[in-house]
Structure 1
Amino acid sequence: MTPRDPVKTQRNREIAELTEQINALKEKVLRITGYRNEQSLNATYGGKHSQYIDIKHEIIDSPEQFIALYLRGFLDYLHDLGSAARLGNPYFDAHAHIKDSEVVKKWFRLFLTRTYLRQFDALARKRPEVQEAEIWIGQKNASYGILVSPRFRRGAWENDKSEIRHFKSNYWTIGHILETGFVIPDEDDRIEFSSVEHYLKFFRQTLVRNSGSQHEMEVARRYCSFVLASAKPLDVPLLIPELRYGGKSVRHDYRLDFTIIDPFTLKKVGFELSPWSTHGRLEGTQKKTQKQVNEEAQANFEREMRKLKAYFRKQGIPIIVYTDTDLEDYDAIFQEMAAYLSPTRKAKQLEFHAMNDFLAFKPGR
């Protein structure tokens, strides 16, 4: 049985406490505002947050920020009403109730705080755009897809757009892959995993071993140990091997050795293990002049750099390259990677003056 998340347990406790406080004020608020019932009251305020806040793009880290954004959006709407902002207009009346009554103002804060906590998982993270909610990995005849809300339609895998925002796990983490598994290109089939250990075995023995790189295997071993030692292994970002430049297309110019996607910002960082034996070694140098050797070595180097630059330009992915000297110390390499495997949510500066500005609103003539 999966252990309970103590953070979610605490959040549920706070929601229950807020509900008690809201219920204690409910009858007074209904008398003051004149709404027929609790449903009408809740619809007037709670049903509007998606109208006032760009919830598709905002990453909202706290109830205070949620309330501030709500108030900013509500205030903008009131200004846009112009001369229609007067008694009898439902938006103007809703504003007046908050402005004129400390009881309604208190209820309003409690209500929006509870709304935020109830929708925390959807509001407190960036949601990938549809085109960003699908990645493909692996080699030509052994590729797999990772989607957010996968469904098989008309002979191909796609995301159910309506479900991307409601995805339960943090995007591109161990929890993500346990929820969705890998999809098989153009087949109504998946590879699913029953546990963290099950996925890590597949990651190490199938995904990474197929590359034939001892360097990648050493990194993979350290990643598996890192995940298993984590207090919250489901929240650890995936170490994605062989991210495909061109998606699932067969023709493929380049793949990154490893990629990590921050589950909160969705920013990617790539890692290339580039020993001289793979990308720079020259054959048959005995019959070549030094000039020819230098020119050929330079051409090889420039070709590899062009690939990296193309990846960066087209995908917006910064890439960290490890060469022979770096590859002498796998622990040091993984220590650098581990910094990207331990992302933290960073709260935005709160708009402390939002309520004052909101209450100071005066209708235009």
Structure 2
Amino acid sequence: MSIYSQQEIESLKQLDEEMTSELEAMLPEVLHNFSKEKGRACSVHSLHGTIGGKNNTYVDSIRTQFSDPNDFKAKWLEGFIAYIGDKSYSPLRNLMKDKTFRNYTLTFLERNFYRNLLARTRIKPNESLWKIWFGGGKFFWGLIIAPTFREKIWTNDVSEIRRANYMYWTVGHVMETGLIDPENNGSYKFDKLDDLLNFYRSILKRVSNSQYEKEIFDHYVEYLKCSEDPFSEPFLIPELRYAGLEVDHEHRLDFTILNSHTMDMVGFEFSPHSTHMAVSKIKDKLQKDVNSELSIKWNKEMMKRNKYFSNFGITTVTFTDENLLNIANCFETMKHYLSIRPKTKVNLDEQIARLENI
């Protein structure tokens, strides 16, 4: 039984076919240059063996988790450059300086990444996070990686997913694709960052009925204003909807951070006792009845957290009454998850530039 859904299988198949077509278009020139460098007529099998045969030499693809195909390609190039630095001859030393051959190699590696997607990413990519919906009641919005409207539903344009020039679920993502308005079947876009910040504070904030949440909206806007690279910051998602577009749904998370830099998925719940664990008319009830009601409420809260973790990989941080006495401190906790980045990030463009000097 496949670990992927049928839709995921079709999406990956479409990506594979697209990249294979790109490779076939470049193949005659690439194979000619490869044969010339080797001094004999070479087969496609030999070409691909030379490119892909040392994947585990150039990069520890067994133990390394790659966040995306560019991460895989950048680390492969870094390892390749280090490896051939000590070699008197490598057929790829000169060939990788050729733009067409280099593009062929990078496309070949990207296809390899998707053909080994589970192994490369170490976690099963959750397609439910390719398309998320947030907001309360009937007033909600969508954030889709590569949005397109087909057959009266919003979905992803699979051919564009791998071309996205932004980190998923970031401010840059929102600026590029806009937010989806499902009621009007349109995309609400922002010309500049200030437009998004005004929308966040004037529209999304006003929908909230919680004073605690309203303060978090303000803290987040100020956080973005102080950021050196606001477009790379994770978009702080209010009221992430468990059941998507369904009006009658079980759960929402007060705020959610999907940090694509580290793949940390964290939800935040503001849970004052008065709204989450209070028992009405407690003076008129027996202790066992009070305990029973509290047990039901506790079970509901725990089921909510378990479901978000099980279906989305989202863990939940809960702010209690004591925490809520200082909202600034609560945001400091959230800020940690917003700002965390990998200790080292290999840049693909930098590695390509280094090829000129090998």
RMSD across aligned C-alpha pairs, in angstroms?
Answer: 4.3
Match in the other structure for 1:188: 185
- CA–CA distance in 2 between the matches of 1:285 and 1:32? 85
Q: Is the 8 A contact 2:262 2:341 kept in 1?
A: no
Aligned residue runs from structure 1 range 143-222, under 5 A: 143-185=140-182, 187-222=184-219
Match in the other structure for 1:66: 77
SS state at 2:169 partner: coil
Aligned residue runs from structure 1 range 1-365, under 5 A: 32-34=37-39, 44=47, 60=71, 63=74, 65-66=76-77, 68=79, 102=89, 104-108=91-95, 110=97, 130-185=127-182, 187-347=184-344
Matching residue's letter, 1:219: I
SS state at 1:194 partner: coil
* Structure 2 residues not aligned, in runs of 5+: 1-32, 114-119, 347-358
Following superposition, the deviation at residue 319 of structure 1 comes to: 0.4
- CA–CA distance in 2 between the matches of 1:135 and 1:327? 28
- CA–CA distance in 1 between the matches of 2:151 and 2:81? 41
Distance 1:198 1:117, change over 3 A: farther
- Please list the CA deviations of residues 14-46 of structure 1 after superposition, one character each: whole Å capped at 9, or x if unmatched: xxxxxxxxxxxxxx998653489xxx99x9579
Distance 1:226 1:67, change over 3 A: closer
Matching residue's letter, 2:93: K
Larger Rg over CA atoms: 1
Matching residue's letter, 2:317: I
Distance 1:243 1:49, change over 3 A: farther
- CA–CA distance in 2 between the matches of 1:131 and 1:31? 47
SS state at 2:71 partner: coil
- Please list the CA deviations of residues 53-74 of structure 1 after superposition, one character each: whole Å capped at 9, or x if unmatched: 99996563674533658999xx
- CA–CA distance in 1 between the matches of 2:308 and 2:345? 31
Following superposition, the deviation at residue 278 of structure 1 comes to: 1.1
Q: Is the 8 A contact 1:156 1:187 kept in 2?
A: no
Matching residue's letter, 2:281: G
Following superposition, the deviation at residue 328 of structure 1 comes to: 0.8
Following superposition, the deviation at residue 307 of structure 1 comes to: 2.0
SS state at 1:327 partner: helix
Matching residue's letter, 2:305: L
Following superposition, the deviation at residue 104 of structure 1 comes to: 3.6
Distance 1:59 1:269, change over 3 A: farther
- CA–CA distance in 2 between the matches of 1:342 and 1:147? 22
Q: Is the 8 A contact 1:170 1:176 kept in 2?
A: yes
- CA–CA distance in 1 between the matches of 2:103 and 2:146? 25
Matching residue's letter, 1:66: L
Matching residue's letter, 1:261: L
Q: Work out the number of aligned pairs and report it.
A: 290
Q: TM-score, normalised by structure 2?
A: 0.68
- CA–CA distance in 2 between the matches of 1:187 and 1:70? 51
Following superposition, the deviation at residue 340 of structure 1 comes to: 1.1
Q: Is the 8 A contact 1:181 1:191 kept in 2?
A: yes
Matching residue's letter, 2:71: I
Following superposition, the deviation at residue 52 of structure 1 comes to: 6.9
Q: Is the 8 A contact 1:260 1:341 kept in 2?
A: yes
- Please list the CA deviations of residues 130-154 of structure 1 after superposition, one character each: whole Å capped at 9, or x if unmatched: 5431101112311211101111111
Match in the other structure for 2:21: none
Following superposition, the deviation at residue 306 of structure 1 comes to: 2.2
SS state at 2:143 partner: strand
SS state at 1:145 partner: strand
Matching residue's letter, 2:203: T
Distance 1:308 1:30, change over 3 A: closer
